[in-house]
Amino acid sequence: MTDIKLNSVSRRGLLGAFAATALVAAPTYTNAFGLLKGAGDIRRIRMYSGRTGESIDTIYWIEGEYIPEVVKEINHFMRDWRTDEVVKIDMRTIDIMAASHRLMDVSEPYMLLSGYRSPKTNAMLRSRSRGVAKNSLHMVGKAADLRLQSRSVAQMARAAAACASGGVGKYSRSNFVHMDCGPVRSWGG
C-alpha cells in the first residue's frame, strides 16, 4: 500500500504525533451536531482505497481551521480513480465522515469505494446500475461511499444520520453507506 503522508515538521505535524492522546472518547449521538460545528479542536480522517492501494490517516482541522495542504491530499485521495481527475472535495462531507467515525468509536479506517466521480464515470456506472443518480453529488465532490468491516451498514447509517447534516444512503446488499453534504435525507435498506 502507498501511504499519503506529509514529511514536514510543523505545528500540525507535532499535533499529529500526539493525535491519539488528543482525541477524546467518542461523543454520544446528541453531541454529533456540536462536533460538526467545531466543538472539536482536532478533526481526523482515516481511509484506504482498495482500487489505488493508497491510504490516508491525517488531521485536517486544527483549532477552527482546515489545513490547506492536507485538504489537497484529501482531494487527491478521493479523486476519480478511473480517470485520475481531481476536484475540490466539499469539506462538509469529510466533517460528516469524521464525526460519524468518532460516533462509532472505531479505529479501523474507512474503505473508500467512491469519492469524486467524473460525469463520464457516473454515466458509465449509471448504465450498469439503477442505483446511480443522474445528477449524483459524487460529480461535484460532495459525496462518498464507504465501508467498515467492523460495523454494519445499519450502524454506519445511524451514526451518519445522527449528524443531521446531509444525505445517508444504506446499500445493505453491497455493504456500504453513502454520505453526502446535500439536503438531510435518507434512503435504502
In the predicted model, is pLDDT for residue 24 greater than 80?
no
80: in domain: yes
How many Cβ atoms from other residues are within 10 Å of residue 131's Cβ?
14
120: in domain: yes
Question: CA-to-CA distance for 33 and 96, rounded, in angstroms?
Answer: 9
1: in domain: no
Question: CA-to-CA distance for 100 and 156, rounded, in angstroms?
Answer: 7
Positive or negative torsion for Cα 15, 19, 21, 22: positive
Q: What is the pLDDT of residues 67-85, one digit of tens each?
A: 999 999 999 999 999 999 9
**What is the mean predicted confidence (pLDDT) over 172-189?**
95
**What is the mean predicted confidence (pLDDT) over 136-155?**
97
Q: What is the mean pLDDT of the chain?
A: 84
Distance in angstroms between the alpha carbons of the first and the last residue of the chain: 32
38 against 100, higher pLDDT: 100
pLDDT for the residue numbered 63: 87
**What is the mean predicted confidence (pLDDT) over 4-16?**
43
Instruction: Copy the grid coordinates of residue 71.
Output: 485538504
31: in domain: yes
70: in domain: yes
- Using CA atoms, how far residue 56 sits from 70, 72, 123, 158, 166, in Å, is 10, 12, 28, 24, 23
- Using CA atoms, how far residue 107 sits from 4, 25, 52, 148, 149, in Å, is 18, 11, 21, 10, 11
In the predicted model, is pLDDT for residue 9 greater than 50?
no
In the predicted model, is pLDDT for residue 31 greater than 50?
no
pLDDT for the residue numbered 132: 85
**What is the mean predicted confidence (pLDDT) over 122-138?**
88
128: in domain: yes
175: in domain: yes
Nearest alpha-carbon partner for 26 in 140, 168, 155, 181: 155
- Using CA atoms, how far residue 123 sits from 117, 127, 148, in Å, is 9, 6, 27
CATH number of the domain bearing residue 46: 3.30.1380.10
Q: Give the structural domain span for 181.
A: 6-188
How many domains does the chain divide into?
A: 1
**What is the mean predicted confidence (pLDDT) over 53-67?**
95
